[in-house]
Structure 1
Amino acid sequence: MPESLTDRPLLAVLRGERRDPPPVWLMRQAGRYLPEYRALREAKGGFLAMCYDPETAAAITLQPIRRFGFDGAILFSDILVIPHALGQDLWFETGEGPRLAPPLLDGDLSGLSAKTSLLDPVYETVRRVVAELPAGTTMLGFAGSPWTVATYMVAGAGSKDQGAARRLAYGDPIAFQRVIDAIVGLTIDYLIGQIDAGVMAVQLFDSWAGTLAPDEFRRWVVAPNRAIVDAVRAARPDAAIIGFPKGIGEKLPFYARETGVDALGLDETIDPAWADEALPKGLPVQGNLDPLALIAGGAALERAVGTIRAALNTRPHIFNLGHGILPETPVSHVERLIAMVRQ
């Protein structure tokens, strides 16, 4: 077996090997629940400025690795650097989240001027992290999946039902396809750039995949993700690709087969026993502890961890949350979780 697999448990699992105990990392593990992150953000300023500052972004990426010894380091950045690089203005309103201008309510990209050099600091962040990464730790990159990114680009902000993007996709699918195609093209280049800088595996986040009707899901989630997987795999065949389509429920087996991802992230609503039965045999899975169970701690956390471990005890498995870690999560609960997974 190649040295890179034997020495990196998370990467080995992504390639289909079962490890016991399973490797562990947490989505959004570099973030607001850590006092060292809050201190650095207070010193350095706004979130977006930190994403584009390689020294700061590398330090944040490494904070949870140094504190907890996770098996994976996930790049500190944001999915909306793609629309920013495509030419939309991007900023974050305190307490309200991201804003993009102009909103693409009609799908017209003609007024945008691409600024792909905005992604260069992200690649430098990767290089800096890899240079300091402990032996055995897998460097993970990521991008937003085209549907989820498009929902922000069309509405100019987040929304509860992704209504603006869904209306455009129904009302003018040709225009919406242009938005999706622009995201797909730049995302392919972006992920290849991360891999060339040192990333060993990438994750495609599709936070809003569960809001679409079946035909729309096939067109706007499955097909674009398949295009990205095929292009990245053709260009960089050694890189592993994790798909995380949140909220799609019974569509998971279809997504797994049709996108061709190397591993599948499970959100917290998925019964891991069902997933083990329904998904292709041998497909690595990641997840799926409820972030609120981690906040609760105690017996609730122990039960949830035990259920997941038991359900997936014959399948390649990466222990993770079913979505991102929440800011109010006690650090001591994360320490307890790691101890339970690794004991």
Structure 2
Amino acid sequence: MPGLLLDTLRGAQTDSESGRPIWLMRQAGRYLPEYRALRAEKGGFLALVYDTDAAAEITLQPIDRFGFDGAILFSDILIVPYAMGQDLQFLVGEGPRLSPRLVDHALESLDAVPERLSPIYETVRKVRGQLAVDKTMLGFAGSPWTVATYMVAGEGSRDQHDTRAMAYRDPAAFQAIIDAVTQVTVEYLCGQIKAGAEAVQLFDSWAGTLSPAQFTRWVIAPNAAIVAAVKARHPETPIIGFPKGAGEKLPAYARETGVDAVGIDETIDPLWAARELPAGMPVQGNLDPLLLLAGGEDLEHGALAVLDAFADRPHVFNLGHGIGQHTPIANVERLLATVRGWKRG
């Protein structure tokens, strides 16, 4: 029995008594008191990721509390460059740091450490072993463009200046980085699927900063390569593509990457997306995370507007990006009740 979420990602138009399937990006995280307690006990973020018992427990926490339809692996997109040989640290109040920065060092200077991926697979195995059969185990990876922005600059930035400049200045060198990330990402996703992931998501969090031509080269092309390679090995596993900020380039992404479902962020008009995306393609999204933070009647109205907009196609309810750490538990409960109670008119 695959469950509501997996059925929907495979293209089923569900009209279940349970409403539409729902999970939330970053649903395993700091807004949960049980997560904060475990993190205080165990230590920093990377230590939690590599403690497979703790990582499995965190992955399951929002399922235990809310009963979401999918459990998203507790990990980070920067595990891939970590396995490629960059050092990874999460600095309190500053976020992740990778070194050496590839804006200053050659890709060839890195010594790969592929065994850094193995504990992530073990977490997937542990979660899938504890997850109810009607809940979907979701794996993920960062898309090559987004991962490369961190590898080049060593950290996140608002406009990805260093990486965009490198892509224009030395496209051959940057292509080599993209190709290397693509290759590792294929193996990483296939490893998660082999360990028990039933669907996977590609996060392209910084896709919105690129021109149309650059978007085609650095977002669509590498994601298409990943999808083709993963599908060759695991044709039954749905792949969700999430190019945050893609805007009017979203339909081309949906058509040309080969993803099974497309995630949309909160800046996209869901009525436009429902009209412009390929007919019958499952869509995921797209409530504003800040509306979930604010709560109240506007939260219900916003959720219903998203549900109604996608009433005539397979739809996975989600946020337009990750849930905020200060989001009240009561607001999540109210959202869940709204989604579970929705009926297609």
Q: TM-score range by the shorter chain?
A: over 0.9
Match of 1:329 in 2: 327
Question: Which secondary structure state, in structure 1, belongs to the residue aligned with residue 317 of structure 2?
Answer: strand
Distance 1:77 1:253 in 2: 29
Match of 1:278 in 2: 276
Match of 1:35 in 2: 33
User: Structure 1 residues 27 and 104, CA, compared in 2 at 3 Å: closer, same or farther?
Assistant: same
Distance 1:260 1:42 in 2: 41
**1:38 deviation in Å?**
0.2
**1:341 deviation in Å?**
0.3
Kindly provide the CA deviation profile for residues 93-142 of structure 1, in whole angstroms up to 9, marking residues without a partner as x: 10000000000005611111000100000000000000100131000000
| Superposition misfits of 4+ residues, deviation over 2 angstroms | none
Kindly provide the CA deviation profile for residues 182-231 of structure 1, in whole angstroms up to 9, marking residues without a partner as x: 10000000000000000000000000001001111100000000000000
**1:309 deviation in Å?**
1.1
Whether the 8 Å CA contact 1:107–1:179 is kept in 2: the answer is no
Whichever residue aligns with residue 104 of structure 1, its letter is L
Match of 1:227 in 2: 225
Whichever residue aligns with residue 46 of structure 2, its letter is L
Question: Which secondary structure state, in structure 2, belongs to the residue aligned with residue 110 of structure 1?
Answer: helix
Match of 2:130 in 1: 132
Whether the 8 Å CA contact 1:107–1:176 is kept in 2: the answer is no
Distance 2:236 2:306 in 1: 29
Q: What root-mean-square deviation, in Å, do the aligned CA atoms of Structure 1 and Structure 2 show?
A: 0.7
Percent of residue pairs identical: 65
Matches within 5 A, 1:14-93: 14-20=9-15, 21-93=19-91
Question: Which secondary structure state, in structure 1, belongs to the residue aligned with residue 322 of structure 2?
Answer: coil
**1:253 deviation in Å?**
0.5
Distance 1:107 1:150 in 2: 13
2:163 is aligned with 1:168: no
**1:302 deviation in Å?**
1.1
Kindly provide the CA deviation profile for residues 65-94 of structure 1, in whole angstroms up to 9, marking residues without a partner as x: 000000000000000000000000000110
Distance 2:178 2:120 in 1: 22
Aligned residue-pair number: 338
Match of 2:108 in 1: 110
Match of 1:292 in 2: 290
Give the TM-score taking structure 2 as reference length. Answer: 0.97
Whichever residue aligns with residue 162 of structure 2, its letter is A
Whether the 8 Å CA contact 1:107–1:178 is kept in 2: the answer is no
Distance 2:318 2:256 in 1: 24
Whether the 8 Å CA contact 1:263–1:285 is kept in 2: the answer is yes
Match of 2:8 in 1: 13
Distance 1:50 1:182 in 2: 27
Q: 2:176 aligns with which of 161, 166, 178?
A: 178
Distance 2:27 2:181 in 1: 26
Matches within 5 A, 1:255-270: 255-270=253-268
Match of 1:154 in 2: 152
Kindly provide the CA deviation profile for residues 258-284 of structure 1, in whole angstroms up to 9, marking residues without a partner as x: 101000001001111000000010000
Kindly provide the CA deviation profile for residues 148-175 of structure 1, in whole angstroms up to 9, marking residues without a partner as x: 0000000001111100100100000000
Question: Which secondary structure state, in structure 1, belongs to the residue aligned with residue 20 of structure 2?
Answer: coil
2:207 is aligned with 1:212: no
Distance 1:68 1:17 in 2: 24
Whichever residue aligns with residue 315 of structure 1, its letter is R
Whether the 8 Å CA contact 1:107–1:175 is kept in 2: the answer is no
Give the TM-score taking structure 1 as reference length. Answer: 0.98
Match of 1:304 in 2: 302
